[in-house]
Amino acid sequence: MSVDHGLAGRRAIVVTASTRASQGVYPDKGGALIVETLRAWGAEVDDPTVVADADIAETLAAALAARPDLLLTTGGTGISPTDGTPEATAPLLDREVPGIAEAVRAAGIAAGVPTAMLSRGLAGICGQTLVVNLPGSTGGVRDALAVLEPVISHALSQLAGGDH
């Protein structure tokens, strides 16, 4: 049975920040999972863009220049020296939506993954684009998508000027 997620006609971009995946050391499973899920929800989304952690800021700026309805990132949200997705995202946001990032972390912790509290991912708005940083692990991506599923359509509707 197909569920209407209200994303038909919405454009999304997915960016994976992973130096090793960008070098072909291993496949980008998180970005692929996000794309597969967004397509199932009815969104128009190309395959993920996979970049080295050092290139995330430039890639996010280019993605936002395309003015998608939704920009989801995966990876680079931890505390390792190369994790810089939140720092690259923050200056691009007009307003933060901290409840989304807090809910993503809480869902991971509730799922029995205490290290979810180490995620520094952000969520916010750039123009009329909702931007959300998801963790890099496939489990973290699944948890985050479960958090987004019941609210994503409403959030995008409000962002486009819809009623509360």
Write down all domains in the chain, each with its CATH number in brackets: 11-159 (3.40.980.10)
User: Which residues, 6+ apart, have CB-to-CB distance to 36 below 8 Å?
Assistant: none
Q: What is the pLDDT of residue 3?
A: 53
Alpha-carbon distances of 134 from 41, 76, 105, 161, 162, rounded to whole Å:
17, 9, 9, 25, 25
Q: What is the pLDDT of residue 135?
A: 96
Alpha-carbon gap, residue 47 to 54, rounded angstroms: 20
Looking up tokens 């970005």, which residue turns up? 31
Query: pLDDT at residue 5 above 80?
Result: no
Q: What is the pLDDT of residue 162?
A: 78
Q: What is the pLDDT of residue 1?
A: 37
Q: Give the pLDDT confidence of 95-149 residue by residue, as tens digits.
A: 999 999 999 999 999 999 999 999 999 999 999 999 999 999 999 999 999 999 9
Give the predicted TM-score (pTM) of the model. 0.95
Q: Collapsing DSSP states into helix, strand and coil, what is residue 110?
A: helix
Q: Give the pLDDT confidence of 10-47 residue by residue, as tens digits.
A: 999 999 999 999 999 999 999 999 999 999 999 999 99
